[in-house]
Amino acid sequence: MPYVHGYTDREIRRLMEQSLILEDLLHSGTSYPDGSNVLEVGCGVGAQTLILSRRNPGAFFHALEISEESINKARELGQREKISNVEFKHSDLFEYAFEPESYDHIFICFVLEHLCAPEDALNIFLKTLRKGGTVTVIEGDHGSGFWTPETPESRLAWEGLIRSQRDLGHDPNIGRRVYPLLSASRYVVQDVSPRWVYADQSNHELLDGVINKIIAPMVRSAENSVLGSGYMEKDAWIRGLADIESVATHPEGTFFYTWFKGVGIKKQQVI
Amino acid sequence: MPYVHGYTDREIRRLMEQSLILEDLLHSGTSYPDGSNVLEVGCGVGAQTLILSRRNPGAFFHALEISEESINKARELGQREKISNVEFKHSDLFEYAFEPESYDHIFICFVLEHLCAPEDALNIFLKTLRKGGTVTVIEGDHGSGFWTPETPESRLAWEGLIRSQRDLGHDPNIGRRVYPLLSASRYVVQDVSPRWVYADQSNHELLDGVINKIIAPMVRSAENSVLGSGYMEKDAWIRGLADIESVATHPEGTFFYTWFKGVGIKKQQVI
């Protein structure tokens, strides 16, 4: 599957570190009752799955992932962490034979932004959810990111990530669409909330974590497509990335970004 | 003073309506003890002053404003609302003979974004504050705004406002700089927090209020400079504004924007 961030070891590290830095921000408000049967779609290397499993020890998780390499990493991790309430499945969500009304809840995080047809995924989820079940959707919005000092090259590098993701037919600014997407897919929307991170030098550790463990590696992961498409010359790209990294140490460094978390309920049976 | 939003009746209405819609968002956390002597700089037509006066009936406010027309409106309003704890003064903050250490607290809202030298203003405030006093700064960040559906013309119109403000030597994205500005001006920064608004059709009243009482009129206020500078053709500008307005009624309409509120403390005497 074309995926803007690729599948390198550096990217796996980013996903794991990111998930821990953002755990409270993104997972607060999500708790699954004991005995729930929960589907996670697009679990990747298991970054969110591990957190779900730990925070909801009485629930059982079916974690689906399209990349064989990623799901193998997720399985390894699950074994290493002695996780017993997750079953990992290697499959494309658009190919998988979901049984109707078979899951109590569905969780997807950073997945719709990488699909050409997020609406189709939400429709599949609606069918495989039990009546009264919920889908929890967490997506970023790259249009929400800004920082100081914002040099032209750092902005261009950021735009390079956005354009590379758009070139794949995906929406890097999908966060703002979580409400309309859920609503149009016949979920009753319980809540959509921005989940934002703001950091400045009064909290250097957070600023450094967000910049150097999440944002800079995320932008860097698009290097091949940014340079390959000719959006930026290599020199400008290198300067842009260095400028983003320097936000963490610059006395005037600040950073803001928001994800959106939405919960939709399946209120009635769907044919 | 060159001021991107101008001084029309429509603009006065926007400022008053905006202040009420955003009152809790922006004023929460601000309370001045009885007997405090508080300076508000750049009070305009008194939109924030009225709220300060009502929420802090035991404090006394000195409200300064550079535009004679605006301060006259503010005075009228004060009389109509029978406000007794505010004294309005017509003056340029850079000309006014502030007495050193004469105010307990200072409040400025949507002011630094309209100055060529916000640092100089913060330095003046530092001198006229009593030791232990606070400055409260509330500023927007136009780089934080995004919406659905985001048409190219609606984005261009928004960028037109930003460019017009920049052309005056002012920083429409100053919100992200509140922390570094306070910090560089030798305040001890107590807190800087994003104060965001997000609205979708699940809260139509909020979405409509934000779009039609704050955002669209704010963009429209820059019409003369956007068209005068040639950033946009009139047709595109009209379409852009209409597209922004239609966010309020569009089934997929969503809007996000964040202001930043910072509080700095004067910890030691300044020579």
Distance CA B42, CA B64 (A): 6
Nearest CB neighbour to B146, from listed A141, A179, A193:
A141
Contact list, B196 vs chain A (CB under 8 Å): 194, 196, 258
Q: How far is B144 from chain A (nearest CA, A)?
A: 6
Dihedral sign, Cα of residue A87, residue A90, residue A91, residue A96: negative
Distance CA B63, CA B91 (A): 10
Q: Do B194 and A198 touch (CB under 8 A)?
A: yes
Distance CA B61, CA B49 (A): 8
pLDDT at B19: 85
User: A-side interface with B, Cβ within 8 Å?
Assistant: 141, 143-144, 146-148, 150, 173, 176-177, 179-180, 183-184, 189, 192-194, 196, 198, 200-202, 251-254, 256, 258
pLDDT above 80 (res B270): no
pLDDT at A236: 97
Q: Do B184 and A254 touch (CB under 8 A)?
A: no
User: Do A260 and A139 meet the contact criterion of CB atoms below 8 Å apart?
Assistant: yes
Nearest CB neighbour to A148, from listed B144, B180, B252:
B180
Tell me the average pLDDT across A18-25.
89
- Token representation of residue B37: 């002597």
| Amino acid identity at A63 | A
Q: Do A201 and B193 touch (CB under 8 A)?
A: no
Bridge partners of B38, per DSSP, are: B61, B105
pLDDT at B103: 98
pLDDT above 90 (res B7): no
> Which is more confident, A12 or A216?
A216
What is the distance between the terminal CA atoms of chain B, rounded to a whole angstrom?
29
The Cα-based distances of A207 to A155, A202, A247, B182 in angstroms read: 18, 9, 8, 18
Q: How far is B163 from chain A (nearest CA, A)?
A: 15
Distance CA A192, CA B250 (A): 17
Task: Kindly report the average pLDDT of chain A as a whole number.
Answer: 95
Tell me the average pLDDT across B216-238.
96
- Give the best residue of A139, A142, A146 to mutate against chain B (max B CB count within 10 A): A146
User: Do B255 and B210 meet the contact criterion of CB atoms below 8 Å apart?
Assistant: yes
Q: Which of B55, B44, B38, B58 is nearest to B106 (CA)?
A: B38
Distance CA A62, CA A85 (A): 9
Give the tens place of pLDDT for each residue, B133-186.
999 999 999 999 999 999 999 999 999 999 999 999 999 999 999 999 999 999
Q: Do A183 and B192 touch (CB under 8 A)?
A: no
Distance CA B19, CA B25 (A): 10
Q: Which residues of A102-140 are buried (b: 16+ CB within 10 A; e: fewer)?
A: ebbbbbbbbbbbbbeebeebbebbbebbbeebbbbbbbb
Q: How far is B76 from chain A (nearest CA, A)?
A: 40
Nearest CB neighbour to A176, from listed B148, B173, B194:
B148
Cβ-based burial of A43 (10 A; exposed 0-12, middle 13-18, buried ≥19): buried
How far from chain centre, in Å, is Cα B65? 13
Distance CA B47, CA A189 (A): 35
pLDDT at A271: 65
User: Do A201 and B182 meet the contact criterion of CB atoms below 8 Å apart?
Assistant: no
Q: How many CB atoms lie within 10 A of CB B227?
A: 15
Distance CA B147, CA A116 (A): 20
Tell me the average pLDDT across A17-40.
94
pLDDT at B17: 86
Nearest CB neighbour to B176, from listed A189, A251, A254:
A254
Distance CA B89, CA B66 (A): 9
pLDDT above 80 (res A204): yes
Residue with tokens 């959509």: A192
Nearest CB neighbour to A144, from listed B148, B180, B256:
B256
pLDDT at A24: 92
Q: Which of A93, A163, A157, A83 is nearest to A127 (CA)?
A: A93
Phi, psi at B168, each rounded to 5°: -85, 0
Count CB pairs under 8 A between chains A and B. 86
Q: How far is A257 from chain B (nearest CA, A)?
A: 9
Distance CA A109, CA B51 (A): 41
Beta strand A188-200 pairing with A146-148: unpaired
- Give the best residue of A158, A181, A182, A202 to mutate against chain B (max B CB count within 10 A): A202
User: Do B260 and B175 meet the contact criterion of CB atoms below 8 Å apart?
Assistant: yes
What is the share, in percent, of chain B residues with pLDDT greater than 70? 100
Distance CA B50, CA B16 (A): 10
Bridge partners of B64, per DSSP, are: B41, B89
Give the tens place of pLDDT for each residue, A110-166.
999 999 999 999 999 999 999 999 999 999 999 999 999 999 999 999 999 999 999
Tell me the average pLDDT across B187-208.
96
Tell me the average pLDDT across A214-238.
96
Dihedral sign, Cα of residue B157, residue B158, residue B162, residue B168: positive
Bridge partners of B88, per DSSP, are: B63
Q: Which of A132, A113, A101 is nearest to A268 (CA)?
A: A132
pLDDT at B271: 65
pTM of the prediction?
0.94
Tell me the average pLDDT across B2-9.
83
Q: Which of B122, B120, B137, B129 is nearest to B267 (CA)?
A: B129
Nearest CB neighbour to B202, from listed A179, A198, A251:
A179
Distance CA A197, CA A149 (A): 17
